[in-house]
Amino acid sequence: MSAIRLSCAVNNYHWGKHGLASKAAQFAATNPGVTVDEEQTYAELWMGTHPNGPSMVYGTDTQLDDVISENASVALGASVSQRYNGNLPFLFKVLSIEKALSIQAHPDKQLAQQLHAMRPNDYKDGNHKPEMSIALTDFIALSGFRPLDEIAAFLDVYPEFSALVSGAAPEFRRAVAEGTDSERRSALKALFAELMMARDEDVRKQVEALVARVNEPSCNGTELDVSEAALVRRLNSDYPGDVGIFCVFMLNVLRLRAGDAFYMGPNDPHAYIYGDCIECMATSDNVVRAGLTPKQRDVQVLVDMLTYDYGAPSHKLMQPEHKSSVHAVYNPPIDEFSVVRSSVNAGERADLEAIDGPRILLVAEGSGTLCVGTDEMPLGPGFVYFVCPSTVCSFAADTALVAYTAQCE
């Protein structure tokens, strides 16, 4: 066992892109028996062992988790197997987003264990879920709280926003002007809490007034416009009258190009707005939501769990380490995973050095051959392989090839 091709689960959440406009659908179409329906949404492709969407050995009914369980020390490496109790420690995904995802955060391990113990039907495991996203296309997201002076300025510019936080706004303004860091975080929490817990009828009234303001002809922009006016219109179209629309004034807006990445640690608020991305995370499905969603909202838990870090959007971005002209490594500050982006020119060959841990490899663009010893396996968009420890792989590119490899050492 060195490299195994996988077929991977795709889901159809309402926020996904339709048909072959979705990268998740394009990649899923390589699976046996999958026909893409242009009227259907395709939101996520899951690559890994999570029971909500387990990967299978290609062309069989055997789950990847069963392969690993047969000999975890071989499939994962002795060190990784011991640290993570014989389980693959990461979940790898492709997301294709047409409608915004919820305002959300993921709990740290301590809170995850508490939530799982108290409400196992809502929080189905006790693990944390730090995650990293790498854009495949132009991509828009909200992540982390803005610099506080920006939020204070929006309180002055948008009376609809200030009307929903009139109780907390005076102390917030004072803390921004002259408070300590602790006072600023406390004031930010109070402001966010008042906003997210505002009465539905008050929110709808202020959203209506806000949308009327930004629907003026002079405010019209393009699909990738990340101005406040454009985002308000987009989010109101996706979730009319929702309190999450006002998070545009509190959270950083990220506009990413293909290859740009950002990291979301535990207790860090974020929301994906539009585009396609690679996502890697610790193996968990714990999500605490508070806006822009038809799903259950857990507003008090979200308000209480956040760290209330704040700052410029640049501090959310991750810069890859370029190991060579071919390989760039995105290495977040956690143990469970890193991701390698490999770009191989047409007609060239490049090695992916062996590591002492498992890998899942996804081809995003191009075609060629994966060479493992004397074995040669086809590569094309959406082809996924599980690669065992101590395995040297070579990409032989027929056309310009881009692959992403999630790994744990």
β pairing state of 375-379 and 131-135? unpaired
Separation between Cα atoms, residue 17 and residue 134, nearest integer Å: 18
In degrees and rounded to multiples of 5, residue 247 shows phi and psi of -65, -15
In degrees and rounded to multiples of 5, residue 251 shows phi and psi of -105, 150
Q: Write down the catalytic residue from 289, 297, 341, 359.
A: 289
Tell which residue, 89, 121, 129, 140, has the closest CA to residue 105: 129
Separation between Cα atoms, residue 299 and residue 193, nearest integer Å: 8
Is 289 annotated as catalytic? yes
CA 116 to chain centre: 22
Q: What angle do CA 341, 313, 110 make, to 5 degrees?
A: 80
In the 3-class helix/strand/coil scheme, how is 111-133 assigned residue by residue? HHHHHHHHCCCCCCCCCCCCEEE
Place of tokens 């950002």: 262
Instruction: Give the DSSP letter of residue 247.
Output: G
Query: 3-state class of 89 per DSSP?
Result: coil
Separation between Cα atoms, residue 44 and residue 21, nearest integer Å: 13
Distances (CA, A) of 241 to 38, 86, 236, 253: 29, 46, 6, 20
Cα-Cα-Cα-Cα torsion 155, 156, 161, 163, nearest 10 degrees, comes to 110
- Catalytic sites, residue numbers: 289
